[in-house]
Structures are given as structure tokens and as C-alpha cells.
Amino acid sequence: MPYNHHDKIRAIEWSDAGLNLLDQRLLPNVTQWVLLKDALGVAQAIRDMVVRGAPAIGVTAAYGMVLAARDRYACSPGEWKSAIAEDIQTLADSRPTAVNLFWALERMRQFMEGLSGDPVPAMLAEARRIHEEDIASNRQMGELGAALIDGPCAVLTHCNTGSLATGGFGTALGVIRAAYGAGRINSVFADETRPWLQGARLTAWELVEDNIPVTLITEGAAATLMKQGKVKWVIVGSDRIAANGDVANKIGTYSLAVTARYHGVKFMVVAPTSTVDMNIACGDDIPIEERAESEVLTLAGQRIAPESARAWNPSFDVTPAELVDAIVTEKGVVERPSLEKMVAMMRS
């Protein structure tokens, strides 16, 4: 397929020594891998954003369970299943909003219940299945989302939703990769995504690496970009989608959706069904992580605000379903999402 030429990045790799993560805090200037050998280290890596992006966090947590099982079985072969509960909780506490984390942990927990003897080979195989399924889902979503785009045109994306944020290929960036390969997209505008600058550091890097034209903008430039008619779609990912189609995503997504609706620009959300939480009725019930004030008050370790200034730093916001033109999952496309449509898609 043509988009294979625009898909060469992977950020999560298993080896006999442990779990290797590409340290996303250092990109694009430094390419450095972190080797993790236990569940505590995996939880810390998730919390510290060595790895980020809901699907990637889920895949990483699954491998973290393998490391936990290896350690617990080595210490106490007869009691490892009860002992691992502490590791599961440690991993679950690492970040609150990305539902893929809890989905992956629960899948691995249920899988391990039926195991006897050394659990590591079987649990590693299951973690690899989760990883491979994520990539396959992303490719499927890429095809489905690309088919919605009449092109060639330019699109706008926010945060990072590519290979770095997933097992590989990406959600929203997967659609962009597939659509670019099919000639439906000719260029991409990427928001900086403050305060962690995932768009500037990560999305722009991925697109440059895969030879897809990208132009970086500040969040404040998005409205003018749309007013000038330079983009036809906003394409984003999600960390959790409520049963009614409300979408939690990186802070700044909501304002993009409002602006897009005003200017007649279509708004697409791309996420696997593991991101859909049918136990959450609406966006008001989604827990929103608030991170340290220092992330806003400093830049590259240097204070940029007066010492007496405070900061409010929610990591995510919620976009109401009525502002979403399409939710794309591996199971299909939900246009103008509602509870009834989301239920039907999840049952398909």
C-alpha cells in the first residue's frame, strides 16, 4: 500500500533485557532509548511522559505486566498472582485519563488468571498481541478516515497521534499517513501543543521523518488559518471517549472544535474502541488530569513567568459530541455521534 512509505517509526520494543522505550521527552534533538526492567520503572516512565499517547500507554502497560509477572514468579512461584496485584495498582495509578491504560491492564489480568507454571512466555505473547492488534487497528482506521477526505487538501492536527503515541502508524496521524499516500492530503498544519510541545517536537518530527510536508503553527493561529480556508479538516486523537460521543483529548482540542464549526471546517476524531468508555455517560464524568504548574511557568528549565504568578495546567479538555463530525474506530465510522450510534458501533 502507498502509505507504507510513510511509516518507519516505532517507539516501543521488547527485548530479552526488558522493555525499550524511545524517550519522547528528548525528541527531536536527541534519540535515546530507555530500558525498563520492572513494573515500577514502567509506571514512572508513563507518569514522566517518557511514553505518552493513550494507545501507547496501553501497550506499554501490557509489557509492564510481563515484567511484573517475571519478577513475582521468580520470587514466589506459588503466590505470584496475588503478589502482582500491587504492580497492577502501581501501573493503574500512573495516569488517570487514558482509558487504554486500564483496558490493557484488565485484559492482561484476565488473561493471567488461566495460567499455570511460568507465566512469562504466555503473557509476553499476549502483550505482543495487544501491540500488533493496535497497529492493525490503526491501519484500518487510516483507511476508513482517509476515505472521508475529498482532496487533495491540507488538514490541521493537534498534539501527537502517530507512531510515537501508539503501537505504530498512529490514529489521527495514521489517517493523515493513509490519506497522504492516497493523494487525498497534500500537506499538514500542526499545532505546537503547549505546554509540552508534542506537536512541535513529535508530530513535526514524525512527518519530516516520513517525508510528509508539515507546517508548524501556534494554537492562536488556528482560527486565522481556518478563516483563510487553508484547511478542510481538523483531525485529532482521543484519550477517552464517553458513551454519548463526547471526546477527551489534549488541552486545546475543544477550542479547535468550536473554531472549526464556526468556519465550516470538518472535525474528525480517530481512536480505537479501547479508547471508548461505555461506562462513562458523558464528558462531564471523564476524570481530567491536572499536571504541575511548573510545566506552564517554565520553559526548558527556565522560569518564563513572574515568581508570584500561578498556573492552571489541565492536560486534557472535553469536546462535546455535537461538535464532532466523525469518530473513526477500527470498527467503523460514527458520523455526528450520539449514544445510540456509539452503542451500535461498539456492538458491531
Tell me how crowded residue 251 is: count the other CB atoms within 10 A of its CB: 22
In degrees and rounded to multiples of 5, residue 115 shows phi and psi of -90, 150
Select which of 239, 246, 317, 325 is catalytic. Answer: 239
Taking phi over 0 as left and psi of -120 to 50 as alpha, with beta for the rest, 200 belongs to alpha
Nine-digit cell at 217? 503553527
Across the beta sheet with 12-15, the strand order is 12-15, 18-22, 33-36
Q: Contact at 8 Å (CB) between 171 and 163?
A: no
For residue 250, list its beta bridge partners.
Answer: 316
CA neighbor of 258 nearest in space, from 343, 158, 179, 330: 158
71 is catalytic: no
Grid coordinates representing 339 are 449514544
Active site amino acids? 239
